[in-house]
Amino acid sequence: MEAPKEPHSISLKVLRLSRPTFHEYVRLPQSPVDTELPIDPDAALSQGIQGGNDFLFQPLLKLPPAFGSAYVGETFSCTLCANNELPDTSDRLISSVRINAEIQAPTQTVPLDLSPSDEYQAELNSGDSLQKIIRFDLKEEGNHVLAVSLEYTEVTAKKDVESAGRMRTFRKLYQFVAAPCLSVRTKVSDFPLRGLENEKRSYARPMLFALEVQLENMADGPITLVQIVFAPKPAFDTTLVNWDVSGAGSDRMESPFLAPRDITQAAFLIKQKPNSKAETTKDERVILGQLVIRWRTSMGDAGFLTTGWLSTRKRP
């Protein structure tokens, strides 16, 4: 018969780091005129704290009540806390505490750097905590697993005599799903060259394409598009034809604001440089380049997305 496992002297807590959200208030219905106890409809709204409207803590923001949603293109951040749960009267000493973490993404496993980067905690007294912060850029959709390993040395001291320390370790897994924040749809159109509409294209002449892009906000909250650019292959030049959020001066347009399920569009003209050779795939599709998109959430969290290589349709 196996002996029951001894509980660990250290507990491990994983807390996601995220910015607060705006607290939503709903106005109360209007009270009837003849009621004896009329209620102001604004009674449910945030009125600050009595005694000073400029008090720092106002009920305008709230912390996430749960883990929340994780989106591709954003940075996933957590703090890892190793807490010594032994009472002050315990004769056990904890030292050489070490935390390791890795992310198991759908296609790869990535070891994570911890901050601060000191490898070991020399000693962890009763009630003390060792905290590390991890950050990981989410680049893939689907299930992710945060695997955290904790190891430490436990020494039992009785009557001023220390026993030989023993190394203890355990591992915890935390699963979450990374969902797409932006849905990107593209369409490439080929402009026929004048005089060659009814002939097979002569690829010695420059090619001209139009790239149509449709962006849909798939997140639970609003986002603001900061930048959308097309990074072409060396053989091409590109021009954004309908709006430019990265411009300067009086011609600069406001950054598009997308509420959940809102859609915006962009269009690019892509022209081959004279005397340049375009790259093609095995099935003779012309490789044009990649889209680079940046955005921010309502609380300022940054997002970044790069598409795969965009190409033309197969040659007829």
User: What is the full DSSP assignment across 254-301?
Assistant: PPPEE-TT-EEEEEEEEEEPTT----B-TT-PBEEEEEEEEEEETT--
Q: Are 87 and 140 in contact (CB under 8 A)?
A: no
- At 106 the pLDDT is 92
Burial 8-43 (b: 16+ CB within 10 A, else e): ebbebeeebebeebeeeeeeeeeeeeeeeeeeeeee
Which pLDDT does position 26 carry in this prediction? 60
Q: What is the pLDDT of residue 45?
A: 55
The residue written with tokens 């915006």 in the block is 264
pLDDT of residue 296: 92
pTM as predicted: 0.73
| pLDDT the model gives residue 27 | 57
**Tokens encoding 76:** 């996933």
pLDDT for res 280: 87
**Token pair of 258, please?**
């997308």
Question: Cβ distance 281 to 231 under 8 Å?
Answer: no
The pair of structure tokens assigned to 98 is 């070490």
- Residue 121: per-residue pLDDT: 66
pLDDT for the residue 68: 74
What pLDDT is recorded for position 35? 63
| Local mean pLDDT, 10-residue blocks, the chain (316 residues) | 70 86 64 64 52 50 73 92 88 88 93 82 82 93 93 78 76 92 92 53 68 93 91 91 55 76 92 87 89 90 91 76
pLDDT of residue 240: 86
